[in-house]
Amino acid sequence: MSARKVSPLMFLPPLLFAGLAALFLIGMQRQNPDELPSALVGQQAPSAEMTPLGDKPMWDDAALRSGKPTLVNFWASWCGPCRVEHPNLEQLQSEGLTILGANYKDVQGNALSFLNELGDPYEAVGADTAGRMALNWGVYGVPETYLIDGQGNVVLRIAGPVTQRELDERLRPALDSLK
């Protein structure tokens, strides 16, 4: 009988599969695999580049270095989850937390109607009509909320609505750690 030579290329597909599986396994080793990572955590918050939203007071970079924790919330009137999180933002505002708003790619009249209908939890708010500011902040989509310490550093990012669960499990512990 003659011995058949085995081609080294036969081993390539299983090796590629094993390498890909290892990459996926390493990627899932994050503390919370459902949480979207943010390159901004631990960094200075990007600049505020907005236009006025009606006659609402607008905020700037200095508002992020007020010496007290602040939330920056990206939202839009056309965003369903933004309506879901709104009562929680109002609750946080009533507890004394400063919340700054960035209205994302919205029509000014619709944004103002949204705030008139649901209430205005923002100490100051501006419009990011072109989405440039959101791009600099790494926003995937609205709503997104960032916790900023009193020196302008990003402490936490919440991608999605600020639900009661997010409040209890992530935001309040992060706020407590800043005290």
**Euclidean distance between CA atoms 168 and 179, whole angstroms:** 16
The model carries a pTM of 0.80
Residue 37's pLDDT is 57
Please write down the long-range contacts of 24-32, taking CB distance under 8 Å and 24 or more positions apart: none
Q: What is the mean pLDDT of each run of 10 residues along the chain (179 residues)?
A: 73 82 70 57 90 95 95 97 97 97 98 97 97 94 96 95 96 94
**Euclidean distance between CA atoms 94 and 24, whole angstroms:** 43
| Tokens (6 digits) for 14 | 């299983």
β-strands 124-128, 154-159 pairing? unpaired
Q: What domains appear along the chain, each with residue ranges and CATH number? A: 51-178 (3.40.30.10)
Residue 17's pLDDT is 83
